Amino acid sequence: MRRSSLLLLLFILTIPAYSQTLVSDNSNAEMVGKFDHTAEIAIIPEPVSLVKTEGHFVLPANVVIHSAAIPELKQVVSFLQERLSIPTGSFVSNISDIKGPATIKLILNDKVNAAIGNEGYTLIITPSLITIKANKAAGLFYGAQSLIQLFPKEIEAKELVENVEWAAPCVEVTDYPRVGWRGLMFDCARHFFTKSEVKQYINAMVRYKYNLLHWHLTDDEGWRIEIKGMPKLTEVGAWNVKKVGEFGIFSTPDADEPRTYGGFYTQEDIKEIVQYAKDRFVDILPEVDVPGHSLAIIASYPELSCTEGAENYRVRSGERIMDWSKGAPPIALIDNTLCPANERVYGFLDTVITQVAQLFPFEYIHMGGDEAPINFWQKSDAIKALMKSENLKDMHQVQGYFEKRVQKIVESKGKKFMGWDEILNGDMPPSAAVMSWRGVKNGVDASKKKHEVVMSPSTYAYLDYMQADPITEPKVYASLRLSKSYEFDPIPYGSDAKYIKGGQANLWTEQVYNIRQAEYMTWPRGFAISESLWSPLEKKNWKTFFPKVEQHFKRLDIAETKYAPSVYDPIFSASRSADKQLMIELSSEVEGLDIYYSFDNSFPDRFYPKYTEKLTPPKDAIMLKVITYKGKDPVGRIMNMPIEELNRRAGRR
C-alpha cells in the first residue's frame, strides 16, 4: 500500500462508522421507507441527460468506494462517506485498489471526455455497482450530489434513520453545467452571520451544484473583515445597535446606546471558510463595497470622507440615511461615501485590497460601485478641484475616476476587478468585469462591449425580495415569486454569450436577522436559479420543475434546512365592479391547488367554501382568511387579508 493510501485509510477510520448490525437488525422490521419503484426521479438541477434503466440498486451494509488515492478526491470520498453512512448505518470504506470488489467507483477519466468539461460527470447505476466518472474531481462531486438525490429522502438526515430501504433507481446520467459561474451572494454585512452559519449556507448550496459564494463583507451596517493595521474597522465598524421592525425607518440610536450588535471574521476565520468552501468546490468572491455603502468605514476613519462632521457618523443600524423618492442615485442624508478626491482613500484601499487579495485565492475581487450618492460630492470643494485637475465633466466621471484607480490597485495585486453595473457609467475599460443587477440590459450591453459579465438581475435573482403577498412575508420593497425566478436566463437574448461568465442570485440581508430566515429566503428560489444556471435551456420546464420542488421540500425538512412555502400562497387581485363593489380574485402560481376561505374571522379548512369565482365580501366583513389545500392536505399557510387592505389595493370607491 502506498503511503498516501495508508493515510487515506487512517483518515477514513477516524470518521464515525455506524454499526453494520443496525441495518441487519432492521431487516425483519416493517419498512416504513420502502423503496417506491414508481417514484419520479427528482434531481435539481435537471441533468442534461438521464435514462432510467432496469432495476434498482440497494445500498449494502458494507459500502466500498474505489477511488484513486489523490488529494483532490479526498473530499468527494469523505462527502460520500458521511452522507451514505450517517443516515443509513452502513459502513463506508474507501480503497484505492481498483481490482477488488466495489460498491461505488469514482473514476477520473484517463482520456478527457470533452463533452462534459471540468465540472460534468457520468453516473451509471446498475443493481450491483455505482460508477461516477469525470474529468476533474469537481465533476465527481457533482455526480455524488446527483447520486444522493436518487436515494430516498431520508438520506438527508443528520442521524440514523431506521426502516428505510436504501435503494436508488438504475440510471445512466450524463451531465454538465450550462455556465461556469453559478453563485449565491450572501450579505454578511447588514447582519453578521457566524463562521459556522456561513459553512451551513455553503453546505446547502453545494447540494444544488452552486460553485461560487459571493461574500458581501462591507456595508453601511458593518465591516466584517479583520484588516491588520486598520483596527478601527473591526473595533468600531463591525458594531451597531440592534433594531428590529422595518429596516430603513428605524429610529436613530441614541449617542450613548451600547453598540454591541455585530461581529467580524478574523483572518484565521476567513482562511478556514475559504478552505471549507474549496473542499466543496466553491470559490469565494469577496466584496468590499465602495465608494457608496461605506458608512462603517467612515465611522471608523472619518478622514476618508469629503464631508465635514463625518467624525459624528456612526455605523448604521437601519435608520433612514437615504432619500429614494427621486430614484437612483439616492439622495444621501448623511455622506456614506469614500471621497474620490482624497489620496488617503487610495492608500486605505491599497492596504485593504492587499490583504483581501492574500486571503482569497479567487481570481476576482468585487469592489462594489453601486448606489453611490453624489449630492455631497457636488458640494465638495475637493471634488470640484479634482474635476478641474482631471478634466472630469460630471459625477459619473468622478466615480469613473475612482473606479479606474481602484481597478489599478486590484490589478496590482494580481487580481481581476469586478463591480456592480453602475461602474459602466464611468467609461471603464473592458478589463473591468461587471455584475449586472439593474435588470438584464446593462449586462447585455456590457457583454457587447467585451466586459466579462455575471448576470444577477434583481428582476429574477434577488432573494431578498418577498416571495408572496406582503400580508404574509416580511415587508421588503419588491416581490419575486418562485415561478418568475425560474424564468431567469443567464445568457439573455441579445447578449454576447462569449462574455457571459454565468449568473447568481443575491441574498441581501437588511431584513434577514438570522440563518433560518436566510435559508427561508434562499430556498426554493435557489432551486430555480440553480436549474437556470446548470440545466440546458430546453430541459427547463416549470410543469416538471415544480413537482421536484415539492420533493425537495421534503428533503429540506429532513435536512433541517428552512425554506419558504410561499409558492402555495394565493395571489390576491382586488378590483371594482361597474357599480364600484370590491371584487376579489384569487389565483395560484401552482396548478392543482384548492383555495378555501372565510369572511367570518374563523379559520378556513377544506370543509369551508372553496374559491371558484371572484368574491364580493359581505357588507361588514373585516377579514378574508384563506388557506390552500392539495387534495386533503393543507399546503399553504392561513393568510389573513384585511378587507380594508383589499379596498386600498382596488383603488377609490
3-class SS at 500? strand
Q: Of 139 and 443, which has the nearer Cβ to ligand ACM? A: 443
Residue 473 is a catalytic residue: no
Tell me how many residues contact ligand ACM (CB under 6 A): 4
Residue 162 is a catalytic residue: no
Q: What sign does the CA torsion over 204, 205, 211, 215 have?
A: negative
Q: Of 287 and 473, which has the nearer Cβ to ligand ACM? A: 287
Integer Cα distance of 173 and 165 in angstroms: 22
Q: Of 319 and 371, which has the nearer Cβ to ligand ACM? A: 371
Integer Cα distance of 502 and 44 in angstroms: 18
Q: Which among 7, 101, 107 is positioned nearest to 63, based on CA atoms?
A: 101
CA distances 292 to 79, 309, 611, Å, are 41, 17, 49
Min CB(452)–ligand ACM separation in Å: 17
Copy the grid coordinates of residue 301. Answer: 476613519
Min CB(312)–ligand ACM separation in Å: 26
Residue 371 is a catalytic residue: yes
Q: Of 257 and 370, which has the nearer Cβ to ligand ACM? A: 370
β-partners of residue 121 are: 175
CB 618 within 8 A of CB 599: yes
Region of 309 on the Ramachandran plot (φ > 0 left; ψ -120 to 50 alpha; else beta): left
CB 197 within 8 A of CB 204: no
The reply to whether 411 sits near ligand ACM by the rule CB under 6 A is no
- Catalytic entry in 371, 421, 422, 464: 371
Per-residue mark of binding to ligand ACM, 317-356 (x: CB under 6 A): ----------------------------------------
Per-residue mark of binding to ligand ACM, 546-565 (x: CB under 6 A): --------------------
Considering only residues 427-446, where is the footprint of ligand ACM by CB under 6 A?
437
Q: Please give the torsion angle defined by the CA atoms of residues 321, 325, 331 and 337, in that order, rounded to the nearest 10 degrees.
A: 60
Helices in 493-595 by DSSP H: which ranges?
515-522, 525-534, 542-559
CB 417 within 8 A of CB 367: yes
Per-residue mark of binding to ligand ACM, 364-403 (x: CB under 6 A): ------xx--------------------------------
Q: Of 324 and 603, which has the nearer Cβ to ligand ACM? A: 324
Min CB(338)–ligand ACM separation in Å: 16
Min CB(366)–ligand ACM separation in Å: 10
CA distances 343 to 13, 349, 386, 414, 428, Å, are 57, 10, 11, 22, 20
Q: What is the maximum span of the chain, computed from C-alpha positions, in angstroms?
A: 87
Min CB(422)–ligand ACM separation in Å: 8
Min CB(369)–ligand ACM separation in Å: 9
Min CB(368)–ligand ACM separation in Å: 8
- Catalytic entry in 66, 191, 293, 552: 293
The reply to whether 420 sits near ligand ACM by the rule CB under 6 A is yes
3-class SS at 243? coil
Q: Of 187 and 269, which has the nearer Cβ to ligand ACM? A: 187
SS3 content of the chain, % helix, strand, coil (to 5): 35, 20, 45
Per-residue mark of binding to ligand ACM, 96-135 (x: CB under 6 A): ----------------------------------------
Q: Of 329 and 604, which has the nearer Cβ to ligand ACM? A: 329
- Burial (CB < 10 A; 0-12, 13-18, 19+), residue 247, is buried
Min CB(569)–ligand ACM separation in Å: 25
What angle is formed at CA 163 by the lines to CA 159 and CA 167, rounded to 5 degrees? 90
- Catalytic entry in 154, 156, 219, 464: 219
Q: What sign does the CA torsion over 337, 340, 342, 348 have?
A: positive
Min CB(601)–ligand ACM separation in Å: 40
Q: Of 167 and 185, which has the nearer Cβ to ligand ACM? A: 185
Q: Of 72 and 370, which has the nearer Cβ to ligand ACM? A: 370
The reply to whether 460 sits near ligand ACM by the rule CB under 6 A is no
According to DSSP, the β-strands at 364-368 and 283-290 are: parallel
**Residues classed as catalytic:** 219, 293, 371
Instruction: Name the residues that contact ligand ACM, by CB under 6 A.
Output: 370-371, 420, 437
